[in-house]
Amino acid sequence: MFGDSLSFHGPEGGHPADEPRLWPNIAAAALGGSADLVAGAGWTARDAWWAMIGDPRVWAELHRADVVVLAVGSMDTLPSPLPTYLRTGLRYLRPDPLRRAARRAYLAAQPFLSIALRGRPSALPTRLTVRYLDTAVSALRVLRPTLPVVGWLPSVHRAASYGQVHTTRARTAAAIARWAAEADVPVLDVPAHVGAHVLGGHGNPDGMHWGWEGHEVVGRAMASLLRPLLTRAGNVGSDAADWGHVG
């Protein structure tokens, strides 16, 4: 399972990948299996692709996985007033007081810049989100032609840190849906399951990540999406040992 912080953040912050209340583990448990999470905070579709081709641990898991979930795309749609290479490059500034001051200044300015620039540019342009998803799926189908692959549509947010602006989400979601239909990749409509939870203020106080109720709903919805794919592929066994892993 390739993801971003929505895969491992709960109502109060981040958790280890084996936390059973996280949605990947809920989905896997509902299917009698286990989840192998490959994720990072702020990861976009591009980061998932880089992990797929650059991490030898991922290469090993892909040989054993019964299904791959590309749960990325949500962070792609967030406003990014600074170009990604500058924003992510703040961590490399030295000395330490300069780095901390620059980060504080950017975080303070981000909500206002997100509003002033009307949510543009986003962390990753729509066309690149689709391009990296398509490249990942194409590579997986070369490696293992019968391996089921699923994706999802970007989540929603009400984050004050982004000025509650989410301009490009609708366009990116529509582009992912069109690509998925053409590429025969099933997708989970995340906002349909967790939108009210997030926008109603029932998740993490940051207005972006989910509470445990949200994880439960998404995990069970993902299990429902995966079950017929695994059954068709002959990968669902009578117990966890037969079933294998969600990659």
Flag residues of the chain having pLDDT under 50: 236-246
The tens digit of pLDDT for each residue in 116-165 reads: 999 999 999 999 999 999 999 999 999 999 999 999 999 999 999 999 99
Are residue 191 and residue 179 in the same domain, yes or no? yes
State the pLDDT at residue 16.
98
Are residue 66 and residue 155 in the same domain, yes or no? yes
The C-alpha R_g of the chain, in whole angstroms, comes to 18
Are residue 88 and residue 198 in the same domain, yes or no? no
Are residue 234 and residue 163 in the same domain, yes or no? yes
State the pLDDT at residue 231.
83
State the pLDDT at residue 241.
32
Query: Which position has the token pair 């109720």?
Result: 213
State the pLDDT at residue 160.
97
DSSP state of 136: H
- Determine if residue 121 is left, alpha or beta; phi over 0 gives left, psi from -120 to 50 gives alpha, anything else beta: beta
Are residue 182 and residue 134 in the same domain, yes or no? yes
State the pLDDT at residue 51.
98
Are residue 104 and residue 200 in the same domain, yes or no? no
How many distinct structural domains can be found in the chain? 2
Q: What DSSP letter does each residue of 53-93 carry, written as one string?
A: HH-HHHHHHHHHEEEEEEE--TGGGSB-SS-HHHHHHGGG-
Are residue 191 and residue 130 in the same domain, yes or no? yes
Are residue 175 and residue 137 in the same domain, yes or no? yes
State the pLDDT at residue 239.
30
Are residue 36 and residue 154 in the same domain, yes or no? yes
Q: What DSSP letter does each residue of 196-236 carry, written as one string?
A: HHHHTT-S-TTSSS--HHHHHHHHHHHHHHHHHHHHHHT--
The tens digit of pLDDT for each residue in 154-184 reads: 999 999 999 999 999 999 999 999 999 999 9
What domain range includes position 96? Answer: 81-116
What is the domain-level CATH number for residue 75?
3.40.50.1110
